[in-house]
Structure formats: C-alpha cells, structure tokens
Amino acid sequence: MKTKSRPPRRRAPPQNTEAPPGEQAPERPQPARGLRSRTARAQGARAEGGRRRPGPAGQAGRRESSVQRRLESNERERQRMHTLNNAFQALREVIPHVRADKKLSKIETLTLAKNYIKSLTATILTMSSGRLPGLEGPGPKLYQHYQQQQAAGAAPEAQPEGHLHKYSTQIHSFREGS
DNA sequence: TAGGCCATCTGGTCCT
DNA sequence: AGGACCAGATGGCCTA
C-alpha cells in the first residue's frame, strides 16, 4: 500500500444535466483551474470510445425523455456516491490512526475499522468477563455472542489479544506508509 | 512510467 | 414504473 498525502481532489458539478444552475449542490467544489471536470472528462472519454459510447439507438435517435432519465439517474448515482463517501469520511474520523496527515483509503478505512472494532470488543470482553463483578447488561451477552462467533469458526486468529495486536500492527504499517 | 486510488457514467437487477 | 443498488469500464491524478 502506498503512502498518500495528496489533498482531496476536487470534483466538479455535472456539465450536462438539465438542472438549473441554482440547483447545484452547494457543497460541490468547483473544478481546479485548468482542469476539466470529471463529468466533462467522462463525457469526453465517452466520445472517444469505450463502453460508454452510446449505442446505435443512443446517438441521434435516442429519445429526449430517455436521455433526460439517464441524466437524472446519473445525478442520483452521483449523490448516492457522495453520501457513501461522506460515510467513509465520518468513519475515518472516528478511527484512531497514527498518521493524521494521511488520508486513509477506502479499503484501509474498512480494514482498520474492522480490526478496531474487534480490538474494542476484545477489550470489553476482557473487562466484563474478568474483574468487573458488578457489571451487568451487555457484558455477559457480548461474551456469549463472542463465544458463538468463535464456535462458528469466525477468524482463526480471533483471540482477544490477537485483535489488539493485529490492529496495532496495522496502525504501524500505515505509519510507515507501506 | 507503473500502479493505486478515485469519480463518473452506464446498463442490469432488485426492491418498493 | 421508478428509484436504489451494484459492478464493470474508463480515464485522470498522484506517488514511488
């Protein structure tokens, strides 16, 4: 895995939607000076060939309403992906990791989150099944759930210390930018 | 320059 | 029927 410290890339509003300019999402940044927007680039790419080239029915003969539906669908898909990316960003912000200057990739975020959750679970289990006699509620249930997971053959390395070690190792590997 | 990561478009499928 | 979801394709940006 490579180290990345690049600034967030700018996204541009769609160039080809029928929506009036006033309806552009305000949070959408303008394209960097001198750069074509992604939408424009994609449209260019479509014109240049590849899978996105309109089929025979889609060139001059495609009905206006069909084109309109496609544009609306594109916009919804864009919004959906923005929502997904916002969720990724929110997740990044609650996962402790060493290099705050380095933005975690999506796969790194998911992997780190998974192991972070496992390490927290292991920590809670250690506390609830051990030295906290007064603890009632989630502790024993959590422990039962954990044992069931183990019995179901979850992760072979799934020992409480193992999760913490794995998470810690992962953090360090990110620190070194590997 | 290669490889990783990403945004976007697109068509198919699922769901309400 | 229409929207949500998904995965493939594509090309740009960035770093090593």
Instruction: Give the angle subtended at the CA of A35 by the CAs of A31 and A36, to the nearest 5°.
Output: 80
> Above 80 in pLDDT, residue A120?
yes
**A170 with A111: CB under 8 angstroms?**
yes
Q: State the average pLDDT over residues A40-56.
A: 37
Distance A90 CA to B16 C1' (A): 29
pLDDT surpasses 70 at A45: no
pTM higher than the cut 0.85:
no
The mean of the pLDDT values for chain A is 60
User: Looking at strand C, which nucleotides approach a protein CB closer than 7 A?
Assistant: 3-16
Of A10-24, A55-69, A98-112, A129-143, the one with minimum mean pLDDT is A10-24
Show the beta-strand stretches assigned E in A37-167. none
Considering only CA atoms, which residue is closest to the C1' of nucleotide B5? A105
The per-residue pLDDT for range A154-163, each reduced to its tens digit, is: 554 445 556 6
User: Which position has the higher pLDDT, A168 or A113?
Assistant: A113
Whether the Cβ atoms of residue A158 and residue A149 lie closer than 8 Å to each other: yes
Q: How far apart are CA A43 and CA A15, in angstroms?
A: 9
A60: confidence class by pLDDT, cuts 50, 70, 90: very low
Chain A 59..98 CB hits on strand C (< 7 A): 69, 72-73, 76-77, 80
